[in-house]
């Protein structure tokens, strides 16, 4: 038998887990109150709160007090036998309430370490713990929805709820919730696509919550009941959640309808601290690797009626990669007032952050120098102001009403520099840029007739232009299109992949005057207002609530792009003076798209948990949602269809002029075009003379759309406890997510008129859109949890979530990307965990298996995927169409119907790859394992070791799972741009289609140097702390202890900074022949070994 003071302390600190145990014993039967999962402190006993405990048997009153306050109370059941406790009402501390309950009973309560022990007044307290040991399992009430007021124990919840306490948050030293969840929870992994610890994507059970636009979101996140998924894209900005202010983190699994929209795979609910929790004054300084400097501070307290709490975080770091500094400033405050029945709270949250995340880098560059960046800048500035007014009114002992109203305003501005991804398309044979950049090759001015002013020359046969106005007899001269084309093809192409003569692919390209970089500037302003009211009944056998909520959001978006250059450090910069003047986008901001959108959601919900007998719990819930989304879109039309390099200004040297009136046709090089505005805006192929500000042109100005979504989502579940230490459960639930503002604004349209408006190359473009159905998720879960006789806690669960009409960010070409409904997807898996202690060593192990798969077929574009279709003839032999005679003697043009070579839009799958049902989704490792070891060396010194292990995951761009290393792809035929036009055999009119005859195979690009997956890895993090003096603690945190090289995510792509085979190499290392570019894997590198010292001061209110 160990000493009475040592053993309980060790057991209460077991593994730092939310469930606690007290080992106490007596000569009789031991009876203990149900215990809260939070570790009790002196402050918990001293802070005041409202009590309304009726007169009843003493043991029942003690249990009620323990469950509602979090105090760990142990007592001999024989001592409370046949004793009735008086009623306790009023605003008092828990210890004072316990003293009132024990008044006249001959018992007293004393605090021993973290436990409250009840014993006879005459008992010698020095020997009270020398008893047989009995374990008492604690219980905590969970608020099973965004709003407080209804409390259920974990045994009453039919799902694998996971929790992180304030103490665990504090000891983790994590910068954001993303890192915290990755190291502590089952079925969680992070993907650091952005390259910043505050901007990681969190994946839970295969569903994502993160800040990156274009990533489909499937988790709802709540901060004190306020949904923080932003209205633009449902994204979550982890940098706006202050860690020090958090009292708890709970993850509720499945498609729980009570949490509302976006709860497809789960809901994350965080609660903040309160001044009513007790007096607190803490300051923490951190410094070390990457020049990190951080100050965190909090203060709080109350006088019984009024309470206040404030927390601040100031963070400054240079980052471990080149040019990657970040600054984070967070401030949270809460003021509260309460009386016997009513509690009011006003809280505010401010964040002003400047984050630099330079994203993925090619695997070859990572191997050479992991801290390198691919291109820069990549900066995001986030600002947030959130205000919340909440109330709780106790109508009776069992009935309360909770309400909240809130205002949330966020602003996001990002500047992103990247290489010009449309550079491979600088292969058009009518690229007049060579003429203006090489004056010696200038060709004479040619005038063509355009009588209708449609921006196209008039023809005699639907294709060949009428003879030039200024030289009608020159059939073979330079104004003849074929002759002019031949002359231009002898000039060097800016992209050497076009060759010095035709499509040979062996040209050097042109360095001088060629834009190779692009800078996008995006601004997003979002304002959300909302309110909710919830009625809660906490009865003995029924836990029932009914609530209603209303949320209204407005988002405005604008984006501009410019062409630029890249320097030797891969920094993209603007320099129009050194870019050929015909590139209009080098000297002018091109307004890609702008819009404002509104969404409004009204909801009505309920939840009931029925406990007919002690061992059984049955639950049912449902939520009705009505969501309306209204968008006002502004998009470039024909100019939006074109790449930036095709927006050309030939005013300095107009070689081609289209004339509506031959008698007044301009004859001087700098003449003003006579084209109509629409013709100017659509003049993009070199033969036309577009003038004016393309960035401001938009024929979709004022295009409005409105969509409404309705859903009724139910949930049913049950739990059973055959023994005190075993709990079995099962659940079925349904949830929905309405398409976000950006998804609707970026949706694919089969309407050619809307297709011409361009698409979304996030964050640069949006388009007019069609209707997207809402996503429907159904989740089934079975599980068990409990405590072994040796007090080791365990859990096991299996789940499956099926999504119908899932939305994914797809692509049809290098610049035409969309959100689109892709059909069905599935996530299924297994979760297993156990935790306990061996003496002073606490052990926690969490394992999960997660399979996330596509269950419907669709196509995507990526030239760096080895399985991409490189046959423009679609495998049907010569010719892409055929004429089919109609019954009435007519005919129509028909494509061969071979589903294997067409995407779901009925378009050619040339340069696309097909995703088949069963293909694994990117970024979701199949196996996750977290192991935590914490050892108490002495009462002052603790050491902890945490292992994070992840198996391999599929790379983005390999959604079909068929990419592999190997030789370069073979293109079986000419590309469509060089195919012959098809004409109607009866009328002779151009059909708009091209006929491509099969040609010998030609090599396309370079070999595929990497496979299509992110390798698995395991990293170890060490932390230790030592209490120097009362309230002062010194800590050391070492991440990636063994300096393991790893990366958390990857994506297939081509590296333009590749060695020369044929192309010229500029000072930046850019290769001006895109066929020289290496097909590779871009990786999200993990940080190397890093160490930080922490110094923490905590005010101790105890004398």
Residue 138: predicted pLDDT: 42
Residue 238: predicted pLDDT: 96
Sign of the alpha-carbon torsion through 163, 165, 166, 170: negative
CA distance 977 to 994: 9
Count CB neighbours of 20 within 10 A.
24
Higher pLDDT, 979 or 1060: 1060
The DSSP 8-state label assigned to residue 97 in this structure reads H
**443: confidence class by pLDDT, cuts 50, 70, 90:** low
Going by C-alpha positions, the residue among 1020, 1016, 1014 that lies closest to residue 1084 is 1014
CA distance 458 to 237: 54
pLDDT averaged over every residue in the chain: 79
Residue 469: predicted pLDDT: 76
Segment 36-45 shows an average pLDDT of: 41
**Given a cut of 70, is residue 169 above it in pLDDT?**
yes
* pLDDT, tens digit, 9 for 90 and up, residues 608-651: 999 999 899 999 999 999 999 887 776 554 444 567 887 765 44
CA distance 410 to 387: 12
Residue 301: predicted pLDDT: 92
Residue 22 contacts residue 7 (beta carbons within 8 Å): no
Residue 161: predicted pLDDT: 94
Side-chain half-sphere of 237: how many Cα atoms within 13 Å?
24
CA distance 277 to 539: 25
CA distance 561 to 763: 10
**Given a cut of 80, is residue 416 above it in pLDDT?**
yes
DSSP 693-748: -GGG--TTTTEEEEEEEEEEEEEEEEEEEEETTEEEEEEEEEEEEPPPHHHHHTB-
Residue 210 contacts residue 923 (beta carbons within 8 Å): no
Give backbone dihedrals phi and psi of 118, rounded to 5 degrees, phi first. Answer: -105, 130
Higher pLDDT, 476 or 942: 942
The torsion angle over the Cα atoms of residues 423, 427, 431 and 433, rounded to 10 degrees, is: 40
Going by C-alpha positions, the residue among 334, 326, 358, 346 that lies closest to residue 239 is 326
Higher pLDDT, 15 or 705: 705
The torsion angle over the Cα atoms of residues 513, 518, 519 and 522, rounded to 10 degrees, is: 140
* pLDDT, tens digit, 9 for 90 and up, residues 356-401: 988 899 999 999 999 999 999 999 999 999 999 999 999 998 899 9
**261: confidence class by pLDDT, cuts 50, 70, 90:** confident
Spatial CB neighbours of 519, under 8 Å, sequence gap ≥ 6: 415, 416, 417, 561, 562, 564, 572, 573, 574
The two tokens of residue 472 are 């009608």
- Which of 100-109, 132-141, 1034-1043 is most confident? 1034-1043
Residue 213 contacts residue 380 (beta carbons within 8 Å): no
The three-state secondary structure class of 166 is helix
Going by C-alpha positions, the residue among 19, 26, 1, 22 that lies closest to residue 10 is 22
The two tokens of residue 986 are 């009866």
Q: Is the peptide bond before 531 cis (omega within 30 degrees of 0)?
A: no
Going by C-alpha positions, the residue among 183, 238, 318 that lies closest to residue 1090 is 318
Q: At what angle do helices 94-102 and 58-69 cross, to 10 degrees?
A: 180
Residue 487: predicted pLDDT: 52
Count CB neighbours of 464 within 10 A.
12
Higher pLDDT, 542 or 475: 542
Residue appearing with tokens 């698995």:
1016
Residue 440 contacts residue 491 (beta carbons within 8 Å): no
Q: Minimum mean pLDDT among 329-333, 878-882, 970-974, 1057-1061: which range?
A: 878-882
CA distance 640 to 856: 30
Residue 114: predicted pLDDT: 52
CA distance 964 to 867: 8
**Given a cut of 90, is residue 960 above it in pLDDT?**
yes
Residue 247: predicted pLDDT: 92
CA 1097 from chain centre, in angstroms, equals 35
Side-chain half-sphere of 951: how many Cα atoms within 13 Å?
12
Residue 456: predicted pLDDT: 63
**476: confidence class by pLDDT, cuts 50, 70, 90:** low
Residue 671: predicted pLDDT: 39
Segment 1050-1059 shows an average pLDDT of: 93
CA-only gyration radius of the chain, Å: 34
The three-state secondary structure class of 1000 is coil
Residue 713: predicted pLDDT: 95
Residue 553: predicted pLDDT: 94
Spatial CB neighbours of 504, under 8 Å, sequence gap ≥ 6: none
Residue 871 contacts residue 888 (beta carbons within 8 Å): no
Segment 670-696 shows an average pLDDT of: 34
**Given a cut of 80, is residue 491 above it in pLDDT?**
no
Cα distances (angstroms) measured from residue 381 to each of 46, 384, 412, 562? 42, 10, 6, 20
DSSP 828-857: EEEEEEEEEEETTEEEEEEEEEEEEEE-S-
Segment 782-789 shows an average pLDDT of: 94
The DSSP 8-state label assigned to residue 232 in this structure reads T
Residue appearing with tokens 């361009």:
758
The two tokens of residue 87 are 């009623």
Number of H helices, E strands in the chain: 15, 58
**Domains in the chain: ranges and CATH:** 6-140 (3.55.50.30), 151-277 (2.170.130.10), 280-421+517-638+696-872+910-968+1005-1098 (2.40.170.20)
Going by C-alpha positions, the residue among 261, 319, 288, 426 that lies closest to residue 1092 is 288
> How much of the chain, in percent, has pLDDT values that exceed 70?
72
CA distance 526 to 458: 49
CA distance 948 to 1017: 8
Segment 954-976 shows an average pLDDT of: 77
The torsion angle over the Cα atoms of residues 832, 837, 840 and 845, rounded to 10 degrees, is: -10
**Given a cut of 60, is residue 894 above it in pLDDT?**
no
Spatial CB neighbours of 165, under 8 Å, sequence gap ≥ 6: 16, 17, 18, 37, 38, 39, 248
Spatial CB neighbours of 126, under 8 Å, sequence gap ≥ 6: none
Cα distances (angstroms) measured from residue 612 to each of 67, 75, 650, 676? 20, 28, 82, 78
Sign of the alpha-carbon torsion through 742, 748, 752, 758: positive
Sign of the alpha-carbon torsion through 420, 423, 425, 426: positive
Residue 52: predicted pLDDT: 73
CA distance 82 to 97: 20
Residue 637 contacts residue 698 (beta carbons within 8 Å): yes
* pLDDT, tens digit, 9 for 90 and up, residues 282-291: 999 999 999 9
**948: confidence class by pLDDT, cuts 50, 70, 90:** very high
Residue 242: predicted pLDDT: 96
**Given a cut of 80, is residue 680 above it in pLDDT?**
no
Residue 91: predicted pLDDT: 64
Give backbone dihedrals phi and psi of 177, rounded to 5 degrees, phi first. Answer: -60, -30
| Strands 73-76 and 115-120, bridge-based pairing | parallel
| Per-residue b or e along 572-588, where b marks 16 or more CB atoms closer than 10 Å to that residue's CB | bebebeebbbbbbbbeb
Residue 638: predicted pLDDT: 41
* pLDDT, tens digit, 9 for 90 and up, residues 809-820: 877 655 566 788
> How much of the chain, in percent, has pLDDT values that exceed 90?
47
Segment 99-112 shows an average pLDDT of: 79
Residue 115: predicted pLDDT: 65
Residue 105: predicted pLDDT: 83
Residue 877: predicted pLDDT: 37
Going by C-alpha positions, the residue among 158, 195, 203, 153 that lies closest to residue 178 is 203
Spatial CB neighbours of 381, under 8 Å, sequence gap ≥ 6: 353, 354, 355, 411, 412, 413, 414
**Given a cut of 80, is residue 351 above it in pLDDT?**
yes
Residue 762: predicted pLDDT: 42
CA distance 466 to 662: 12
Segment 167-180 shows an average pLDDT of: 92
Burial class (CB in 10 A: 0-12, 13-18, 19+), 891: middle
Q: Minimum mean pLDDT among 269-273, 431-435, 656-660: which range?
A: 431-435
Q: Which residues pair with 806 in a beta bridge?
A: 823
Cα distances (angstroms) measured from residue 1079 to each of 343, 506, 1007? 62, 18, 6
**Given a cut of 60, is residue 100 above it in pLDDT?**
yes
Confidence (pTM)? 0.80
**478: confidence class by pLDDT, cuts 50, 70, 90:** low
Residue 967: predicted pLDDT: 85
CA 909 from chain centre, in angstroms, equals 29
**Given a cut of 50, is residue 124 above it in pLDDT?**
no
Higher pLDDT, 880 or 915: 915
* pLDDT, tens digit, 9 for 90 and up, residues 715-730: 999 999 999 899 999 9
The DSSP 8-state label assigned to residue 81 in this structure reads T
The two tokens of residue 418 are 């990247």
* pLDDT, tens digit, 9 for 90 and up, residues 76-93: 777 777 788 888 876 677
Segment 189-198 shows an average pLDDT of: 91
């Amino acid at each position: 038998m160990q000493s009475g003071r040592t053993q309980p302390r060790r057991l209460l600190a077991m593994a730092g887990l939310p469930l606690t145990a007290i080992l106490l014993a007596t000569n009789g039967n031991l009876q203990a109150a149900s215990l809260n999962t939070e570790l009790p402190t002196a402050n918990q006993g001293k802070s005041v709160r409202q009590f309304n405990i009726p007169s009843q048997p003493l043991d029942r009153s003690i249990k009620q007090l323990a469950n509602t306050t979090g105090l760990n109370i142990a007592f001999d059941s024989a001592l409370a036998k046949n004793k009735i406790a008086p009623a306790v009402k009023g605003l008092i501390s828990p210890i004072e309430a316990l003293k009132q309950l024990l008044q006249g009973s001959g018992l007293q309560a004393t605090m021993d370490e973290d436990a409250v022990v009840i014993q006879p007044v005459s008992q010698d307290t020095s020997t009270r713990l020398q008893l047989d040991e009995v374990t008492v399992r604690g219980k905590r009430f969970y608020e099973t929805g965004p709003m407080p007021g209804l409390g259920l124990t974990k045994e009453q919840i039919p799902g694998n709820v996971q929790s992180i306490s304030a103490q665990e948050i504090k000891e983790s030293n994590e910068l954001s919730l993303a890192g915290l969840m990755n190291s502590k929870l089952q079925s969680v992994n992070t993907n650091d696509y952005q390259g910043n610890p505050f901007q990681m994507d969190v994946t839970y059970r295969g569903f994502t919550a993160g800040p990156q636009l274009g990533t489909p979101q499937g988790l709802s996140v709540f901060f004190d009941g306020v949904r923080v998924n932003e209205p633009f894209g449902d994204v979550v900005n982890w940098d706006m959640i202050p860690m020090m202010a958090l009292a708890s983190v709970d993850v509720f699994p499945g498609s729980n309808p009570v949490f509302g929209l976006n709860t497809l795979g789960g809901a994350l609910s965080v609660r903040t601290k309160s001044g009513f929790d007790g007096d607190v004054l803490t300051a923490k300084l951190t410094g070390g690797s990457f020049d990190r400097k951080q100050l965190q501070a909090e203060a709080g307290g109350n006088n019984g009626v009024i309470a206040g709490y404030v927390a601040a975080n100031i963070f400054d770091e240079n980052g471990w990669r080149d040019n990657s500094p970040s600054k984070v400033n967070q401030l949270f405050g809460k003021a509260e007032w309460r009386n016997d029945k009513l509690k009011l709270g006003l809280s505010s949250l401010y964040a002003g952050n400047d984050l630099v995340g330079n994203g993925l880098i090619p695997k070859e560059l990572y191997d050479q120098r992991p801290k390198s960046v691919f291109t820069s800048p990549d900066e995001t500035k986030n600002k947030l102001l959130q205000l919340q007014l909440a109330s709780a009114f106790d109508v009776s002992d069992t009935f309360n009403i909770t309400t909240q109203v809130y205002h949330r305003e966020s602003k996001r501005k990002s500047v992103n520099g990247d290489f010009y991804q449309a550079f491979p398309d600088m292969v058009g044979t009518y690229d007049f840029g060579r003429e203006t950049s090489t004056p010696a090759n200038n060709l004479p001015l040619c005038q063509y007739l355009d009588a209708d002013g449609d921006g196209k020359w008039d023809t005699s046969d639907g294709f060949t232009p009428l003879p030039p106005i200024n030289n009608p007899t020159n059939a073979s001269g330079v104004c003849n299109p074929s002759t002019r084309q031949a002359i231009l093809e002898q000039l060097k192409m800016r992209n050497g992949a076009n060759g010095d003569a035709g499509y040979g692919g062996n040209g050097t390209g042109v360095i001088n005057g060629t834009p190779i970089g692009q800078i996008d500037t995006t601004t997003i302003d979002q304002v959300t207002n909302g309110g909710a009211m919830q009625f809660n009944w906490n009865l003995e056998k029924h836990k029932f609530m009914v609530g209603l909520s209303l949320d209204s959001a407005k988002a405005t978006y604008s984006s501009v792009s410019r062409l630029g250059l890249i320097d030797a450090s891969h920094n993209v910069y603007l320099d129009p003076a050194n870019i050929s003047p015909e590139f209009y986008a080098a000297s002018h901001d091109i307004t890609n798209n702008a819009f404002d959108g509104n969404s409004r959601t009204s909801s009505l919900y309920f939840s009931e948990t029925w406990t007919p007998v002690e061992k059984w719990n049955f639950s049912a819930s449902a939520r009705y949602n009505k969501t309306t989304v209204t968008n006002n879109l502004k998009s470039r039309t024909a100019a939006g269809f074109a790449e930036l390099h095709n927006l050309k200004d030939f005013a300095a040297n107009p070689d081609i002029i289209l004339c509506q009136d031959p008698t007044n046709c301009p004859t001087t090089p700098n003449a003003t075009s006579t084209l109509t505005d629409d013709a100017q805006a659509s003049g993009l192929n070199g033969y036309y003379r577009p003038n004016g500000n393309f960035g401001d042109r938009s024929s979709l100005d004022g295009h409005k759309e409105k969509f409404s979504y309705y859903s009724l989502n139910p949930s049913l579940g049950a739990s059973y406890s055959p023994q005190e230490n075993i709990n079995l459960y099962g659940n079925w639930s349904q949830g929905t997510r309405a398409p976000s503002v950006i998804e609707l604004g970026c949706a694919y349209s089969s309407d050619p008129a809307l297709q011409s408006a361009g698409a979304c190359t996030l964050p640069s473009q949006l388009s007019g859109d069609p209707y997207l159905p809402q996503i429907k998720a159904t989740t089934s879960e079975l599980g068990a949890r409990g405590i072994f006789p040796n007090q080791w806690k365990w859990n096991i669960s299996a789940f499956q979530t099926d999504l119908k009409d899932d939305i994914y960010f797809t692509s049809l070409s290098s610049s035409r990307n969309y959100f689109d409904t892709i059909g069905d997807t599935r996530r299924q898996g297994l979760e297993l965990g156990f935790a306990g202690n061996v003496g002073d060593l606490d052990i926690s192990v969490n394992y999960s298996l997660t399979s996330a798969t596509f269950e419907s077929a669709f196509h995507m574009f990526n030239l760096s995927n080895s399985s991409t279709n490189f046959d423009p003839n679609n495998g049907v032999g010569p010719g892409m169409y055929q004429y089919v005679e109609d019954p009435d003697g007519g005919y129509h043009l028909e494509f061969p119907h071979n589903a294997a070579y067409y995407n779901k839009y009925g378009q050619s799958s040339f340069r696309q790859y097909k995703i088949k049902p069963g293909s694994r989704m990117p970024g979701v490792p199949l196996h996750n394992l977290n192991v935590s070891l914490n050892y108490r060396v002495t009462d002052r010194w603790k050491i902890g070791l945490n292992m994070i292990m992840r198996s391999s995951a599929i790379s983005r761009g390999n959604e079909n799972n068929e990419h592999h290393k190997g030789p370069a792809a073979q293109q079986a035929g000419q590309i469509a741009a060089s195919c012959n036009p098809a004409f109607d055999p009866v009328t002779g009119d151009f059909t708009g289609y091209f006929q491509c005859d099969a040609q010998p195979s030609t090599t396309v690009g370079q070999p595929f140097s990497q496979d299509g997956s992110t390798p698995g890895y395991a990293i170890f993090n060490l932390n230790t702390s030592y209490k120097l003096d009362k309230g002062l603690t010194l800590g050391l945190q070492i991440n990636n202890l063994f300096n393991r090289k790893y990366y958390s995510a990857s994506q297939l792509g081509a590296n333009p900074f590749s060695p020369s085979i044929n192309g010229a190499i500029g000072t930046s290392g850019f290769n001006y022949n895109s066929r020289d570019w290496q097909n590779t894997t871009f990786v999200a590198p993990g940080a190397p070994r890093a160490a930080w010292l922490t110094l923490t001061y905590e005010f101790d209110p105890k004398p």
